[in-house]
Structure formats: C-alpha cells, structure tokens
C-alpha cells in the first residue's frame, strides 16, 4: 500500500499534536514526518514583517523536506505566509500554507468569517491571505479577526484547559457570522469547546489541510 510521505514543518511545538491528531483521524495511511525549527516563531515575533533572512530559512526547510522524499509539504505556523508562497516556487511538490485550505472552505461557505487568533504577529498576513483567496475564488467574503488574549501563553505553559476555555468564551460572544475559523494549528485543540457554545460552523486548519492534501495527492 502506498504511504505518501508528508513533511510537516513546525515553528513551535504546540502545533504538533493537533495536526498529528488530524492525520490519525482522517488519513492514517499517510506517513507524516515532523521537522521542528522552534527558533522561527520567536524570531518572527521580533520583527514587524517577514524578513529576507526568515524567507531564506523557510526555503531551506522546504528544500530539505523535498530531499527526504516527501510528496508534499505542510507548514503549521501561520506567521510566514509570503515566505511559504516563495518557497513553493523552489520545489516540484505541493507546498501548503497552514490556513489556505481552511480559508478556502470558509470562503466557499460564504458571508462573514470570524477568525479567532492567539499569536498577534500572524494576524495581518492571515487577513491578506484570506482576501487573496477570496479574489482567486471570485467570491465576496469578509473576515473579522478577534484576538484571544492569554490563550497562547496558557497552551505554551501546558494549560490546555485554560486555552480552550478562553477561545470558547470568545466564540460564545460572536453573532452574525457564517463561519468561525480557529486561526492556528495550536488553536484547533479548542474545536469541541467552541462547538459546544455556538451554532456557527467552526473550521480548523489541521482538518482542512489534511483534506486538501488528500485531494491534491489523489489519496
């Protein structure tokens, strides 16, 4: 049986468990491999925008992933969109940004999307990606970003319960939206608590990304 090897490139350890769970649930036949470079996230937080040096590092990681025999690459940190787009042009396999599949699903869902995010440096780039995806799909769609203060600090400290509670509390206040996106791979662990407090459709990046990878590789 063919087991497509997928490179998962992480900039923080808190993104690993949610994508691991998504593969186990939706695509156990795949062979995901984890590549962790955990200086990327703090280095990104120090600068206002993605630098040439950061882009070079994303490209190097992508090429390394290709050298391991992977059939696709999925980045799991949402703060490097433009660098990932550039890296995708340097290899001959699919390279996915963390949120592109989730944004595509939200946009096709139509109307207004709320994005609950926990890592401030990622917000602007993700909003740009959402609007670019809407333009590509030729669909009218709006996004509103809501920062969940304290959530990422909680999960980094190992307090998943507090992280999930804070995200769910933010979701419970939302009205008039057609979809809620949990912005980061790390936020996906709050899916069930969020679904418990809202009737709005909730989307996560790991589940959407695995579905898109399966489609791209015709698995």
CA distance 142 to 152: 25
State pTM to two decimals.
0.90
Model confidence pLDDT, tens digit, residues 29-71 = 999 999 999 999 999 999 989 999 999 999 999 999 999 999 9
The answer to whether residues 11 and 77 belong to one domain is yes
Short-list 143, 195, 140, 148, CA closest to 167: 148
SS3 of 47-103: the string is: CCCCCHHHHHHHHHHHHHHHHCCCCEEEECCCCCHHHHHHHHCCCCCCEECCCHHHH
Three-point CA angle 155, 158, 160, nearest 5°: 55
The answer to whether residues 189 and 117 belong to one domain is yes
The answer to whether residues 108 and 149 belong to one domain is yes
The answer to whether residues 94 and 56 belong to one domain is yes
The answer to whether residues 24 and 119 belong to one domain is no
The answer to whether residues 200 and 129 belong to one domain is yes
Chain-centroid distance of CA 160 in Å reads 18
Is it the case that residue 19 has pLDDT exceeding 80?
yes
At 126, which CATH number? 3.40.50.1860
Model confidence pLDDT, tens digit, residues 194-211 = 999 999 999 999 999 999
Number of domains making up the chain: 2
The answer to whether residues 187 and 138 belong to one domain is yes
The answer to whether residues 50 and 85 belong to one domain is yes
Return the SS3 of 165: helix
Is it the case that residue 4 has pLDDT exceeding 90?
yes
φ, ψ for residue 29, nearest 5 deg: -75, -15
The answer to whether residues 73 and 135 belong to one domain is no
Q: In what order do the strands lie in the sheet with 72-75?
A: 31-36, 5-10, 72-75, 95-96
Q: Which residues sit opposite 182 in a β-bridge?
A: 116, 204
Model confidence pLDDT, tens digit, residues 144-189 = 999 999 999 999 999 999 999 999 999 999 999 999 999 999 999 9
Average pLDDT, the chain: 95
Return the SS3 of 172: helix
The answer to whether residues 163 and 78 belong to one domain is no
Confidence band for 78, pLDDT divided at 50, 70 and 90: confident
Helix 81-88 and helix 123-137, axial crossing angle in degrees, nearest 10: 50
Confidence band for 218, pLDDT divided at 50, 70 and 90: confident
Q: What is the pLDDT of residue 1?
A: 53
Rounded average pLDDT over 5-18: 96
* Environment class of 130 (CB within 10 Å of its CB; exposed 0-12, middle 13-18, buried 19+): buried
Is it the case that residue 2 has pLDDT exceeding 80?
no
Residues 6+ apart with CB under 8 A from 176: 112
> What range does the domain containing 115 cover?
100-204
The answer to whether residues 61 and 17 belong to one domain is yes
* Environment class of 209 (CB within 10 Å of its CB; exposed 0-12, middle 13-18, buried 19+): buried
């Amino acid at each position: 049986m063919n087991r497509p090897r997928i490179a998962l490139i992480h900039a923080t350890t808190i993104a690993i468990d949610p994508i691991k769970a998504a593969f186990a649930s939706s695509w156990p036949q795949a062979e995901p491999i984890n590549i962790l470079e955990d200086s990327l996230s703090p280095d990104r937080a120090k600068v206002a925008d993605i630098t040439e040096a950061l882009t070079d590092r994303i490209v190097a990681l992508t090429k390394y992933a290709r050298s391991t025999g992977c059939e696709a690459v999925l980045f799991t940190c949402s703060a490097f969109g433009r660098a990932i787009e550039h890296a995708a042009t340097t290899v001959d396999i699919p390279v996915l940004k963390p949120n592109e599949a989730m944004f595509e699903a939200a946009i096709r869902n139509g109307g207004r999307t709320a994005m609950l995010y926990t890592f401030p440096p990622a917000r602007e780039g993700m909003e740009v990606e959402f609007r670019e995806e809407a333009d590509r799909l030729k669909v009218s769609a709006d996004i509103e970003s809501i920062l969940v203060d304290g959530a990422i600090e909680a999960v980094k400290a190992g307090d998943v319960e507090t992280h999930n509670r804070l995200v769910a509390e933010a979701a419970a206040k939302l009205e008039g939206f057609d979809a809620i996106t949990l912005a980061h791979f790390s936020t996906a662990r709050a899916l069930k608590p969020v679904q418990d407090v809202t009737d709005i459709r909730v989307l996560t990046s790991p589940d959407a990304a695995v579905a898109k990878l399966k489609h791209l590789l015709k698995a």
